Amino acid sequence: MAYKTILLCLNEIERLPQLIAAARQLGVKFNAHISGLYVIPGVQVFPTDGYGAAPAVFDATRTYFKNQLPKVQTEFEAAMKADNITFDLRVVDSSNPIIAPDVVDNCRNVDLVVISATNREQGDNVESDFVEQIVLSAGRPVIVLPFKGKTEIKFDDVMLSWNNSRESARAAFDALPFLQRAKRTKITIVDASQRGTMEGANIAETLDRDGVKCDIINVVSTGTNVGETLLRAASDHGSGMLILGAYGHTRLSEWVFGGATRHVLHNLDRPVLMSH
């Protein structure tokens, strides 16, 4: 099993080198086709209160992404050609002032999506809830790269967060190509209950039949957020990737992340594969 078509969202300009480097890794590892996606958003139109007054138009974001297109196209195409990776570049000239809806539309027909987390400490031109919208709406597994530091995807040792929920099951099997190529998968359970049986044994047995080498690790949160506990465990055990079910619910028609998922997303220090 492998990912054969991978979508790479190129709109996080400040992280363009890291995004392209990750796509090169994945393209070579899985012999995959890389579809680069770049969305040029539409202008923002703000109504005015005055009678008969023309609405205010803000086009700085659109202009920024239009001006960055030649750089994005040159760097992306050069990198793919350097590794003989098959690729295409989709440029969407959108009428929507935010980019997430167009990205979601393009996620539905690929095996895997790669995006970067947004830097919440600095304003940028990608909407602040971009990652949330993609992870919870795409219907595909999404690799989220950290918004700072190195973003190398390490395949040898991965950590799977498991709590026997729908979301964790979805993440486990969406990540199967990674798990099958890892030298060791750590199935990590936070605050395991004491029921006389080992939690995670069933999923470990199933994954073993799929050729995945598993260890079950129980960690205690000691009162901290589950997301913080998972990131600490991934660091302590040297896991290069965290695999996590993304938990969300709707509130007033908006997607809202659960606490553990939100903490991981806002503090991730290594690539995280999320599924919902």
Residues 97 and 224 in one domain: no
Number of domains, the chain: 2
Q: What is the pLDDT of residue 251?
A: 44
Task: Please check the confidence at residue 252 and state whether its pLDDT lies above 60.
Answer: no
Task: Please check the confidence at residue 129 and state whether its pLDDT lies above 90.
Answer: no
- Distance CA(7)–CA(115), nearest Å, equals 9
Range of the domain at 61: 5-145
166, 193 contact by CB (below 8 A): no
Residues 196 and 74 in one domain: no
Q: Please report whether residue 151 resides in a domain.
A: no
Task: Please check the confidence at residue 231 and state whether its pLDDT lies above 60.
Answer: yes
- Distance CA(144)–CA(118), nearest Å, equals 10
Final residue of a structural domain among 87, 120, 145: 145
pLDDT tens per residue across span 78-96: 999 999 999 999 999 999 9
Longest dimension (CA), the chain: 73
Q: Please report whether residue 150 resides in a domain.
A: no
Task: Please check the confidence at residue 120 and state whether its pLDDT lies above 80.
Answer: no
Q: Identify the band that residue 124 occupies on the pLDDT scale cut at 50, 70 and 90.
A: low
CA distances from 107 to 41, 76, 140 (A): 17, 19, 7
Residues 16 and 139 in one domain: yes
Q: What is the pLDDT of residue 258?
A: 57
The model carries a pTM of 0.90
Q: What is the pLDDT of residue 141?
A: 97
pLDDT tens per residue across span 43-66: 876 666 655 555 665 688 999 999
CATH code of residue 26:
3.40.50.620
* Nearest C-alpha neighbor of 41 from the set 73, 68, 17: 68
The arithmetic mean of pLDDT across residues 236-248, rounded, is 89
CA angle 11, 81, 155 (to 5 degrees): 70
- Distance CA(46)–CA(186), nearest Å, equals 50
